[in-house]
Chain A
Amino acid sequence: MSLLIGSVIIGLILALLALGLFISFRIFNFPDITAEGSFTFGAATGAALIVAGVNPLLACLVAFLAGMVAGAVTGMIHTRFKINPLLAGILVMTALYSVNLHVMGKSNMPLLNETTVFTWIENFSVWISGADAKTNLIGWEVAVKDLWLLLFCLVIIVFFCYLLWWFFKTNIGTAMRATGDNDQMIRALGVNTKSMIVAGVALSNGFIALAGAMLAQYQGFADVQMGIGMMVWGLASVIIGEAIINDNSLGFVIAGAVIGSVLFRLLVAIALRWGLNPNDLKIITALFVFIALILPGLMKNKKKFTFKRKAHA
């Protein structure tokens, strides 16, 4: 059970990643692979600051800003120099690899003995109900500590979801959504679409970097490799969310990304428990996203095909 709770917590943390990819991929139609670099960038920045004795919340904030800078660079490369979005992302992602090594000074930075946001919560739990307290949750015995961590992550995610929903309903947020929807139209209404893209990709990578910083604190280390495959992972979450919610309104899509992230993490945990080779995880994720991407098109073709046959008969 504590394994499942752990999965849900990681799912909630990675929901920030899913929200980031939702912004770039769904709102701006910008396949932003910077995510893989900025995820690690956030983790590295957060970890390095925490090791240096900085308040972990402040470290998270700086990680968020660091991600925004990375995203802004990608956005700038794309808009100012008219470089293909994918290539712009790859350039920044590659450059970030070196940056991350410099930030951490090594390829792996342990945080187990440091004070993180999560140690605060654990201490709080100990203060409230004593060390090693257990409780009964629908017939399972679980550590109270885990439940507090879960609640904390849930509150954080709900807060950020609300923030994002609110932002995309403001004047500037609405203009951002229109930029992704029809840039010609919104330019004719006086919006600088280039700055909208830069700001949007920056925001997206801020969320992704924050996810990295939170995950590093939860799992107790930052690693220069931890961003690999994260973009596809986030996309999988967004796609699962869309499939489950099946409603296009903004609030539902945002909630869907979170639900998708948690579900995907749970599915992976269960698959691993059943003996899936962890080495196969990435190829399965990639295949999953591939299928999810082509499925709508295939279903449409199928419909046309049956329709034609009927017409023929």
Chain B
Amino acid sequence: MLKIENIKKTFNPGTANEVKALQGITIEVEERSFVCVLGTNGSGKSTALNAVAGSFMVDEGTITLDGVNITRWSEHKRARYIGRVFQNPFSGTAPDMSIQENLALALKRGQKRGFGWGLPRHVVEEFKKMVTPLNMGLEERLENPIGKLSGGQRQALTLLMSTAIKPKLLLLDEHTAALDPKTANKVIDLTQQVIARDKLTTLMVTHSMQQAVNLGDRIIMMHQGKVAYDFKGEDKKRLKVNDLLKLFDELRRKDNIDPAVTTLLEQYYV
């Protein structure tokens, strides 16, 4: 379904601020698979997700979605196939516009927007049915601006919006990281429901190992812009939080000897 082949990205190349964010990543995601991407800070997990979403163009490598090479596609063109929820609850909704207007915008994701009425009456009824299962009382507040809602309510709405038209790929970028634990659980439950209902192919970046263990059918662990571990099927099912912690420790231990020593060793032996 999604094929990421050897993508590389360096930010601010040739300056003091040079960051080699992605150093050759290859991931293939099967249809209807739910992949959790874990990693330390700065491991490039969010960057990898943004590369797929098209927030920037990769320096090298190709990205293929459902057989279409989208490597050079702009962000808005990719949005035809990709639904996204961001880490920041403010990113996914237009605060000054009403809930129903936001939902109406989402219903046109990737389609041509013409001079048709933006908010037809029959659609509003549909929206009521969409938000009622959230149990947040939003069905009574469809005309209120989204800016008045809490972060959890916004994320729940963003999730509904990104899947209002079934996307070929759903990208979740630590979408519960900015929420309190209780709200985060609610949003995660909703995420699971939506993904199961629509049988979505999903890539979810998370910092929470518990989430990664509980959710999905595959865990990819990233480190320093590369894929460090990749667990699928039975391996993934057997994986516990403690195992993941051990792996992180291992990576960290490697780090401590890593940069200086490797260059030294390279100088002597390569």
A residues apposed to B, CB below 8 Å: 167, 169-175, 177-178, 181-182, 184-193, 248
Contact = CB atoms under 8 A, between A and B. Distances in A.
Contacts of B106: 189
Nearest to B92: A185
Contacts of A175: 105, 108, 113
Contact of B94 (A173, A182, A190, A193): A182
A189 to B, nearest CB: 5
* Chain B interface residue number, banded: 35 or more
A172 B113 contact: yes
Interface of B is mostly: loop
Contact of A184 (B74, B86, B102, B117): B86
Interface string B126-141: 0000000000000000
B222 interface: no
Nearest to B79: A190
Q: Specify the main secondary structure of chain A where it touches its partner.
A: helix
B75 A187 contact: yes
A174 B101 CA distance: 8
B95 interface: yes
A169 B117 contact: yes
A188 B84 contact: yes
Contacts of B92: 185, 188
A137 B94 CA distance: 48
A170 B120 CA distance: 10
B162 interface: yes
B114 A188 contact: no
Given A170-B117, A172-B114, 5 more contacts: A171-B108, A182-B94, A188-B162, A191-B113, A192-B76
Nearest to B91: A184
Contacts of B101: 174, 178
A192 B116 contact: no
Interface in B67-124: 74-77, 79-80, 82-84, 86, 90-97, 101-102, 104-106, 108-111, 113-119
Contacts of A173: 118
Contacts of A187: 75-76, 79
19 contacts: A167-B115, A169-B118, A171-B116, A171-B117, A172-B114, A177-B97, A178-B101, A182-B94, A184-B86, A184-B91, A187-B75, A188-B53, A188-B75, A188-B92, A189-B108, A190-B80, A190-B111, A192-B76, A248-B96
